[in-house]
Amino acid sequence: MRTAQASDAMELLLRLSDRDPVRTVSVMAEYLSTTFRSRFETGEELLKTTLHVTRSDVTAKNVARSHSAQPRTSTRGPPPSSSTQQTRPSTAQGGQRNSLAATSSAAGVPHNRVRASSARASVGAAPTVPPTPLSPADKDLVMARWLKERERREKEREERRNMMLRRERRWMESLNSMQNTRNRKMQKEVETELAARQIQSGFRGMKDRQNVRILRIQREKERQRQLEEERKKITGPSEAEMFADDAARLFD
């Protein structure tokens, strides 16, 4: 199941890269270096590490292939006649061991690593082709994809910021609407209270004006009485008062 999924994924990558294996490997290296940035800072570093491991595996496979291709010597034979013949490498197997050791030391790969790599390698693997450097068109393509990805992220970030601004604006508008409604209600209550106070003060003003008028009349009468008493002290009683006094004496 995993093999089928891997084949489908590789087929999809090949279609996206116009069936160019070099471009496919380049795109995969860029993506994997971004994913595993803690181990590989750039895609070039990932490709160099991959090339080194591939060369080691190829060397191990070549050594294993040459070792398996050499004929085996028969163990049955005449026994050695002397100790000198026992110490001298007279069989082909000793030559094979020497050539294997020389090959391993020349390749710079330990013998145990050669065995492990040869066990993992497949028999019918094709020889690897050294990766060619990216052409300017491929570099431009990678840069264009990276710019497109960055533009997409910037656009998403801008949309999120605009959405937050719109949400905050709606919240401010709702808050202002609630505040305006509350202010209008308070203004109406204040106007109603002022109108009631004005009506009450108007009634009190009318009553106060009436009281002032009555007091003014009383003061005017008191002033007239005082003036009359002063006149009597100066001029004596008036003619009407004298006639009234005479009439009163006649009828007594």
Q: Which two tokens stand for residue 227?
A: 């003036």
Please give the Cα distance from 131 to 23 (Å, whole number): 10
In the chain, what are the domain boundaries?
Answer: 1-68+103-122
pLDDT at 74: 47
- Give the span between the Cα atoms of 48 and 52, in whole angstroms: 6
Tens digit of each residue's pLDDT (9 = 90 or more) over 141-178: 888 888 888 889 889 999 999 999 998 898 888 888 88
Give 9-40 pLDDT, tens digit per residue.
Answer: 777 777 777 778 888 788 778 778 888 877 88
User: Treating both helix axes as pointing N-terminal to C-terminal, what angle do 21-35 and 43-69 enclose, rounded to 10 degrees?
Assistant: 120
84 pLDDT band, cuts 50/70/90, is: very low
Angle, helix 92-107 to helix 43-69, in steps of 10 degrees: 170
Can you tell me the mean pLDDT for 92-106?
Answer: 44
Question: What's the whole-number mean pLDDT along residues 196-221?
Answer: 75
What are the pLDDT digits (tens) for 209-218? 777 778 888 8
Q: What is the DSSP letter of 38?
A: T
- Residue 224 CB neighbours (<10 A): 10
Write the burial class of residue 96 (CB in 10 Å: 0-12 exposed, 13-18 middle, 19+ buried): middle
